[in-house]
Amino acid sequence: MPRPDRDAQRVDPKDKAQLAASPVDGRRVLALFRPYRWQLALVSVIIAATSVIAMAQPFLLREVIDVALPQSDTRLLLMAVGGMLAVAVVTELLGVAQTWISTDVGQKVMHDLRTRVFAHLQSLSLGFFTRTRGGEIQSRLTNDVAGMQQVVTSTATSIASNATTAIATAIAMVALSPRLSLLSLLVIPPAIWTTRKVALMRREITTERQRQMADLHSQIEEGLSVSGIRLTKTLGLADRANTRFAGSSQRLVGLQLRSALAGRWRMATMHMIFAAIPALIYLAAGFPATSGGMTIGTLIAFTGLQSGIFRPLMGLLDTGASWVASMALFSRIFDYLDITPEVLPPAEPARLDPAAVCGDVRFEGVSFRYRGADRDALDGIDLSVPAGTSLALVGETGSGKSTLSALVTRLYDPSEGRVSIDGIDLRDIAPADLATIVGVVSQETYLVHASIRDNLLLAQPEASEAQLWQALAAAQAADLVASLPDGLDTMVGARGHRFSGGEQQRISIARTLLRNPRVLVLDEATSALDNETERALQTAMEALMAGRTTITIAHRLSTIRDADQIAVLHDGHVVELGSHERLVADDGRYAALLSSRAGAGERELAAA
């Protein structure tokens, strides 16, 4: 089996590339602590005071052994023993204060960092989340931040404490015996070199372990969600999923083992050397040439200091290794913070009252290309949707319908051209105002794991009970909710799976209508409804759409036959535009869509 230290040196090129591309600037790490500099200054004072006070112990011990006991000086003995007790009490009390303040600062720094990362991720466009695994995002917000939390709450103060203790102990050793101090301190340079090598090994393993943990989180999220379980059971993927998960878990076992054993033989050698130093000191003290007339009390005090210096020294070197290993975590977190949002809020938002918006929507020379795509998803779109009118978008899958509707909600910004409401470019409208003006009901409904009431109040937190029921009634969902034992307080379950797809969509429609937007985007909003419910909902929607600008994407062409305009998209271009009757009469692509998709009933409708 390969030795652990050799395994640890096998670095993934991707990890090297990440650390090379995103090096961690120490000033950036220190900036996280700048708001708490006075608390940190106090911690530094406490650490220094604790180290200095603790150094009184060996000198008090020397007085007891060399003076108080041989001379039977009871007064000196009581004073020395009392001093030892006082040193112990004071250092422990200072240690408690240090732990309290440093932990409080560390937790606040981590809170600031977590909230900054979360808020920054919220500002990123939809494209980032379609390109990034959910488990990876969760891992950075939980595992990576937790790893950094250990650094800032324990490692930083441990380094400061061990450093001051080691320096104070070294000074005390020199004061007691310069000759013996030289023998003890000769081992420090090789110890530093050895620990540095171990630190580099552990850093490489840490980055690999974090990436593997992110993969494990993704498997858990995908495999144990309601949708994931449904897919697993219907496709018979349980054995395959179990094997994949077991493999990822087993790789974590190997990484943990490598982390624990990395450089262990090197550190074991150093511990053996440290253990031999006291024996050499006793040997040196026995020869007149090297003892320098050392007393028994001085020898005992010195050996106590000598054994004591290696504890903070090794602690310092060990925490130094942990600090180096954490650089990969800082790199990953800062890497997220450095992502520039593709959709930026306006620096100076346009002044407008959402309640006074008419809802005139225009697409002017709009083109859009997804990142990494080799062609435009939309190209040269020019459309005008006057306030209070309706536009229906139809076309084959991939023609650009959903992309065009996503531009209205500013999930993306056009690569060229502009989208405006009442003549104001969407890029100049504050996000909160745009969310009030434009309401969306998508084919992919999302209900949070809360009550129906809480889901509806997401759209309008101040809505009254009567308004909630009114919105449900408009969406043909009031009877459904009223029939439930807990009514509005019924829990919808994870991702809304307590209800059928059609029931979820009706609740989602009610939530959007509760916001009463001036512009309504319906992206396959009735795709999960049966024909009878869809007809009932269409009847209600016709009244609600009066005076409201509506952009509709519908797979069932019969649901948009009464739209004021129908735009037929093909490969990102508008190839036909007109009313239902006109497009049927033109016998072009729209008529072909009717013929290919519709059943006999819809063909009859088309001919009507």
Domain count, the chain: 2
Domain boundary among 337, 372, 388: 337
Residue 541: give its domain's CATH number. 3.40.50.300
Statement to judge: residues 267 and 374 lie in one domain: no
- The backbone torsions φ and ψ at residue 563, rounded to the nearest 5 degrees and listed phi first, read -65, 150
- Domain membership flag for residue 378: yes
In a domain, 352, yes or no: no
Q: Kindly state the percentage of the chain with pLDDT values over 70.
A: 72
Angstrom distance (rounded) from CA 532 to CA 506: 13
Predicted local distance difference test score (pLDDT) of residue 539: 60
Please indicate, yes or no, whether residues 321 and 366 belong to a single structural domain of this protein: no
Q: In the structure, what pLDDT confidence band is assigned to residue 7 with cuts at 50, 70 and 90?
A: very low
Answer whether residue 1 is part of any domain. no
As a whole number of angstroms, the distance between CA 325 and CA 346 comes to 39
In a domain, 343, yes or no: no
Residues 551 and 443 in one domain: yes
Q: Which two tokens stand for residue 12?
A: 């993934």
Of 403-407, 491-495, 523-527, 575-579, give the lowest mean pLDDT range: 523-527
- CATH code: domain of residue 302: 1.20.1560.10
**Tokens representing 561?**
């036959």
Last residue in a domain, options 307, 337, 367: 337
Does residue 9 sit within a domain? Answer: no
Between helices 178-185 and 156-176, what is the axis angle to 10°? 140
Amino acid 486: pLDDT: 87
Half-sphere exposure of 293 (CA within 13 A, CB side): 0
Place of tokens 């959007």: 512
Alpha carbon of residue 171 to chain centroid: 46
Domain of residue 316 covers 24-337
Identify the domain boundary among 337, 365, 396: 337
User: Is residue 202 scored above 70 in pLDDT?
Assistant: no
Question: Looking at the structure, do residues 322 and 371 belong to the same domain, yes or no?
Answer: no
pLDDT of residue 12: 39
> Is 135:219 a contact under the CB 8 Å cutoff?
yes
Res 509 pLDDT > 90: no
| Strands (DSSP E) found in 51-102 | none
State whether 281 and 241 are in the same domain.
yes
Q: What is the pLDDT of residue 362?
A: 94
Most confident of 55-59, 131-135, 367-371: 367-371
Is 10 part of any domain?
Answer: no
> Which stretch of 293-302, 451-460, 502-511, 539-548 has the lowest confidence by average pLDDT?
539-548
Residue 7 resides in a domain: no
* Average pLDDT for 327-347: 81
Q: At residue 419, does pLDDT exceed 60?
A: yes
Q: Is the pLDDT of residue 155 over 70?
A: no
pLDDT surpasses 90 at 65: no
Helix or strand (DSSP H, E) at 379: strand 378-385
Top pLDDT among 554 and 393 is at 393
Segment 101-105 shows an average pLDDT of: 82
pLDDT digits 0-9 by tens, 226-260: 667 766 766 676 777 788 888 878 887 877 777 66
* Cβ contacts of 392 within 8 Å, gap of 6 or more: 551, 552, 553, 554, 560, 563, 565, 566, 567
Which residues neighbour 535 within 8 Å (Cβ) at sequence distance 6 or greater? none
- Which ranges of 418-464 would DSSP assign to H, the alpha helix? 431-437, 452-457
Indicate if 236 and 330 belong to the same structural domain: yes
Shared domain for 376 and 422, answered yes or no, is: yes
Whether residue 310 sits in one domain with residue 426: no
* Lookup: tokens for 74: 């009871």
Q: How far apart are CA 579 and CA 288, in angstroms?
A: 112
Query: Nearest to residue 582, comparing CAs of 568, 602, 599?
Result: 568
244 found inside a domain: yes
Residues 384, 282 share a domain: no
Cβ neighbours, 10 Å, residue 178: 10
Query: What mean pLDDT comes out for the span 338-346?
Result: 82
Would you list the DSSP string of 248-296? HHHHHHHHHHHHHHTTHHHHHHHHHHHHHHHHHHHHHHTSHHHH-S--H
Q: Do 296 and 261 sit in the same domain of this protein?
A: yes
Quote the pLDDT of residue 383: 94
Q: Which residues pair with 551 in a beta bridge?
A: 391, 521
Instruction: Give every CB contact of residue 302 below 8 A, 6+ residues apart in sequence.
Output: 58, 173, 176, 177, 180, 281, 294
Q: Does 328 lie in the same domain as 373?
A: no
Would you state the pLDDT for residue 363?
A: 94
Arithmetic mean of pLDDT over the chain: 77
pLDDT on residue 427:
92
Quick check: 207 pLDDT over 80? Answer: no
Helix and strand element counts for the chain (H, E): 28, 10
Are 371 and 319 in the same domain?
A: no
